[in-house]
Amino acid sequence: MPASSNCCGKADKGQDQNKPMTISQATDKAMTAPILGQGKALRLLARTRASGRLAHAYLFTGPEGVGKSTLARNLATSLLCQHFDASQDVQAEQATGCGLCTSCLQMQSGSHPDFLLIEPDGQGIKIDSIRLLKQTLGYPPLEGSLRVVLLKEVHTMRREAANSLLKILEEPPPGNLLLLTSADEAGLLPTIYSRCQRIALKALPLELAAEVVLQHKPDLTRADCLALAELSGGCPGQALRMEEESILPLYQDLLAALLHQGRQETEQVQAALSLAGRLNEHREMSGHILHRLRILCTNALATRLCGQTPGPHDQTDRAFRTAQTIQATRERWNTEQLSAKLASITKAEQALHKNCNPTLVFEVLLLQLFDCLPFVSPDA
* Residues lying near Zn ion in the complex (CB under 5 A): 81, 83, 97-98, 101, 104
Distance in Å, CB of 91 to Zn ion, minimum: 17
Distance in Å, CB of 24 to Zn ion, minimum: 22
Nearer CB in complex with Zn ion: 84/370: 84
Distance in Å, CB of 147 to Zn ion, minimum: 16
Nearer CB in complex with Zn ion: 34/205: 34
Cα 267-349-342 angle, rounded to 5 deg: 65
CB 228 within 8 A of CB 212: no
Nearer CB in complex with Zn ion: 111/325: 111
Distance in Å, CB of 78 to Zn ion, minimum: 8
- Distance of alpha carbon 33 from alpha carbon 77, whole angstroms: 11
Which amino acid is residue 281, in one-letter code? Answer: E
Closest CA to 156 of 186, 199, 176: 186
CA distances from 37 to 1, 111, 200 (A): 23, 30, 12
Nearer CB in complex with Zn ion: 101/295: 101
Instruction: Count CA atoms within 13 Å of residue 100 on its CB side.
Output: 3
Distance in Å, CB of 8 to Zn ion, minimum: 21
Residues 6+ positions from 376 with CB-CB distance below 8 Å: none
Distance in Å, CB of 32 to Zn ion, minimum: 11
CA distances from 318 to 115, 364, 369 (A): 42, 31, 25
Name the DSSP class of 82.
T
Nearer CB in complex with Zn ion: 57/81: 81
Nearer CB in complex with Zn ion: 62/97: 97
Distance in Å, CB of 158 to Zn ion, minimum: 37
Nearer CB in complex with Zn ion: 101/208: 101
CA distances from 265 to 220, 277, 332, 371, 373 (A): 36, 18, 16, 9, 11
Distance in Å, CB of 77 to Zn ion, minimum: 8
Nearer CB in complex with Zn ion: 97/120: 97
CB 24 within 8 A of CB 11: yes
SS3 label, residue 31: helix
Nearer CB in complex with Zn ion: 144/312: 144
- Distance of alpha carbon 69 from alpha carbon 240, whole angstroms: 15
Distance in Å, CB of 179 to Zn ion, minimum: 18
- Distance of alpha carbon 300 from alpha carbon 304, whole angstroms: 6
CB 301 within 8 A of CB 342: yes
